[in-house]
Chain A
């Protein structure tokens, strides 16, 4: 790979299975992607598409019944698949940090936020008490928390949702990680706070040249922060490309469906078009393309064989048989208005 020194994270042919009483179910099926330094990659998809599981597997935080059955996760060129728990502990927060969906439950209610940040710093460094204290203040200032000296003595329940998510980000940045993983960090927040948090993540990414892997189901969030997009459906990546490629020129009917189901401020009269049906459950064994039961363009072969990867241009790939038959025409020509291409 020519730009391997730029590659922070490389996930290769990853498969994740969960064991249950009914036998193993596959949550993530053969996904491959990269995240580079200073790049924001968004994974988009509905609930149950395998987005969050992918993130947790990178951190090795899958629940006990979940297991990586195939593939590798490389971080800065090192394979993390076989790292022990002890080795993983050194990577967590020091190299890769994670922020979670719900700031109301992600902080421990019985410890002060000062303690929770201090603990994170001291896990990885032997800073003195005074230096740690200064670092905590510095981090809280960095994430835009006013009056940090008072805040460190407060408990999570004394802070608003937005403030708590800022604290989570401060915790995540404690040891200057190179990669920030975010699992729908703005879903639980209201819209104005949401954009503040997104701005903060963007600023910090640029400031520290971090890679950001960001999971969301919200297309408006994607347009705001993403450099590249991975669209996941039923445990597979169905379309991948730069934000311009995917937003302006979506090639997969599912991506098109996602874009059509979002209201557009420039075209308030456009009717919203929901994707019919619901995402497949992990137990469903759908032959061929997982999306074909919900796809309005479904053809015969869609139910027979999983589509191979078609390259639209160097960065833009899609798994859809429409590309083979050439039947795809640009159905969502209007979607560029959603993505304001500056």
Chain B
């Protein structure tokens, strides 16, 4: 178990190394020169060239990459080309908003998805099931930037139930929840749909198994048959989907933070990419990759708790 965790963390180092290289390389070959952005459109070529030289942008690719990695190993993510802010500090400053959005989105996805999946399975082939299945399809097909825009229009502009955007109040205050609820629903909806479909089909499969018949023959209450005997078994594959949805949610924040004017990592990344702010992009992507790897490690560890048949060796 401990060995397994260490192995995975060891693997993570290589994954992050690979990610950093790919990002560094793709930023390098992408059109657009950070020096031009810094100097401004009108700047004379000599100034731009001077900036390039100062920033080390004229060095060979591997020298630049080596310099960056040398800093990274010491925990230094570099400085923003645009604002000269320390990248690590800039990210930490924006992190709480993104964590809040993703946590809320993941909660929506898990709670809504699992609940809808269970209801659909229990009322198999009823109107509830068909409604739930249609909802899932709808949730998967609607792009979240459109949904977000519509939600702002309806709930913020017309009904005025919630503010138009931004996270300005602390998490667990009335205002905080008011600010979070619509972005979270928008973010979590498509994942909720995926999870609902998975839960539904898993529940249906599990409900047909012999041990469910055994549970009923023992005189176990129906609600307990579903929520204890069936659900725990149905959760094993659903957890996998939940872990993978985390990646979808993180991708979603990049767009939705723009739509809802939330100052998070996603928005930071979009701005950084537009301004060719290489260190900032690099830092943001590495953070996302690391989080994704860690979440999937947690999912793998959750299996052990849910399914006693799974073990990762002694």
Q: Which residues of A contact B (CB under 8 A)?
A: 59, 61, 85, 89-94, 97-98, 100, 102, 105-112, 119-120, 123-124, 155, 157, 168, 171, 174
Contacts and interface: CB of A to CB of B under 8 A. Distances in A.
B214 A106 contact: yes
B217 A98 contact: yes
A106 B210 contact: yes
A93 B211 contact: no
Contacts of A123: 218-221
A46 B241 CA distance: 43
B219 A94 contact: yes
Contacts of A92: 216-219
A102 B222 contact: no
B199 to A, nearest CB: 16
Nearest to B125: A64
Q: What are the 8 A-B residue pairs with the smallest beta carbon separation, nearest first?
A: A92-B219, A105-B210, A108-B211, A155-B308, A98-B217, A120-B218, A89-B219, A93-B219
Contacts of B216: 59, 61, 92
A90 B210 CA distance: 21
Interface string B222-247: 10000001001100000000000000
Interface residues of B, number: 20
B306 interface: yes
Given A109-B307, A157-B308, A97 B217 contact: yes
Contact of B217 (A61, A107, A111): A61
B206 to A, nearest CB: 10
A155 B211 contact: no
20 contacts: A61-B217, A85-B222, A91-B219, A93-B217, A97-B217, A100-B210, A100-B214, A102-B210, A105-B210, A106-B211, A106-B213, A107-B214, A108-B233, A109-B309, A110-B233, A110-B308, A111-B232, A120-B218, A120-B219, A168-B214
A14 B309 CA distance: 42
Nearest to B124: A64
B228 to A, nearest CB: 8
Contacts of B222: 85
A157 B216 CA distance: 21
B209 interface: yes
A270 to B, nearest CB: 37
B215 A155 contact: no
Contact of A124 (B210, B211, B219): B219
A168 B215 CA distance: 11
Nearest to A85: B222
A97 B218 CA distance: 7
A59 B213 CA distance: 10
Contact of A109 (B217, B221, B308): B308
Contacts of B309: 109, 155, 157
Nearest to B213: A61
A90 B220 CA distance: 9
B230 to A, nearest CB: 9
Contact of A59 (B209, B210, B211, B217): B217
A110 B209 contact: no
A305 B221 CA distance: 46
Contacts of B232: 110-111
Contacts of A59: 216-217
B216 to A, nearest CB: 6
A283 B218 CA distance: 33
Interface in B285-310: 306-309
Nearest to B214: A106
Contacts of B308: 109-110, 112, 155, 157
Given A110-B232, A155-B308, A119 B220 contact: yes
Contact of A93 (B210, B213, B218, B307): B218
A268 B209 CA distance: 41
A202 B83 CA distance: 85
